[in-house]
Structures are given as C-alpha cells and as structure tokens.
Amino acid sequence: MKFFVDTAETSEIRELNDMGMLDGVTTNPSLIAKSGRNILEVTKEICDIVEGPVSAEVTATDFDGMMREAAILSKIADNICIKVPLTPDGLKACRMLTEDGRQVNVTLCFSANQALLAAKAGATFISPFIGRLDDTGLEGMELISEIRTIYDNYGFETQILAASIRTVNHVKQAAMIGSDVATVPPAILKALFKHPLTDKGLEAFLADWAKTGQKIV
C-alpha cells in the first residue's frame, strides 16, 4: 500500500520524505488555509520535495470554473494531481482532464455508487472518507471493501485512496482490505512506528551492550 501524507506543512513533508515513507501528498483548501501560505507557492514547494503525486484541489463548483483552475494548478509541476469533488460537474471535469493526460483525484466519496461513477469517469484516484462515515455511525471500512469488490469485478484501474484516516487501526484495516493508497495525517503516520515492546526491547539490547564495554568502530 502506498502512503500519502495529508498536510500542506512542508517541514513535516520533508521529514517524512527523508524517512523514505512517502509516495505522495494530498492537500485541500482547509489544509492550505491552515498553512497560512499562498496555494501556488506552497504547492510548488511540496511538488519539489516529493516525486509522487501531489493532489491540489479546485475550489470552483461549476465545470468551467474547475477547468480554469485546473489549468492553473497543472502548470505548477508535472506531478500535480488535480483534485475535484464528486459532483456531476466534478466528474465531467475528471473525464476531460484524464483525457488530456492529467492525474485526477475525485474526493468526498461516501458511497460505492459514487466510486463506481468516478471510475467510469476515468479517475486516477477515488478518495472515500473513512473517518467522516464513522462519525455518522456507519462503518467507513465497509465502504473500502465494497469499492475494492466493485473495482476488482470490472477491472477498473482507479486506485482506492483511503482518506479521512483517524487511527493506526484505520491504516491496518485499509491495507488488509486492499486499499491502494492511504493518505494519513503526519501524526498517524509517525505513530505506525511505535510499539511499547519495540521500545522495551531496544532498551534491553542497549543495556546489555553497555555492559560489554565495546564500541563498533
């Protein structure tokens, strides 16, 4: 499973990229606002850090507006992936952009039927929002499973990009179901490293090593 990080904070992106953990980055208007920076400036910096896809989202809600904004965002870098909402105009824009050779991430997916439409529109990625479904009392992971089944049934090449991930268990479950990508907040991605037995074991190894008085030189 590929790991994308869901942030517009370039310092966090650099740190995770240096670890060799990142396959891409996702941003959205809320994350750009949180960064406090100009969208074109910060997105260009992110594209320079990572080699994989960087999702940059349009803010227009009509087809013509989406296409105008997509044209501007596409010029930022070759690894830009245009992010559009799962609406009729968004799917129309998706079709036009993919036919033009652009990568497209269709976002705000909350049903398997929506994911089916996005795949038929040629989306590169579909972003089902796990955590937000969980918030309503539904099972977000069930949606990932449904989409996986549908895409496998018909050989769709659209990649499932599990989004709105809130916990390390979300990551594990998405991987077990077969999500192609998980886009994860920096804190959750770093938490994947952690286990108390790892810390305890390392502490014991170092204590035993210290007793030998040796150094590896």
Catalytic residue annotation = 83
Cβ contact 83:59 at 8 Å? no
Q: Distance between alpha carbon 193 and the CA centroid of its chain, in Å?
A: 19
The dihedral sign for the CA sequence 106, 109, 115, 118: negative
Are 58 and 34 in contact by the 8 Å Cβ rule? The answer is no
Neighbours of 203 (CB within 10 A): 10
Interatomic CA distance for residues 212 and 140, integer angstroms: 52
Q: Where are the beta strands (DSSP E) in the chain?
A: 2-6, 24-26, 54-57, 80-85, 103-109, 125-128, 159-162, 181-184
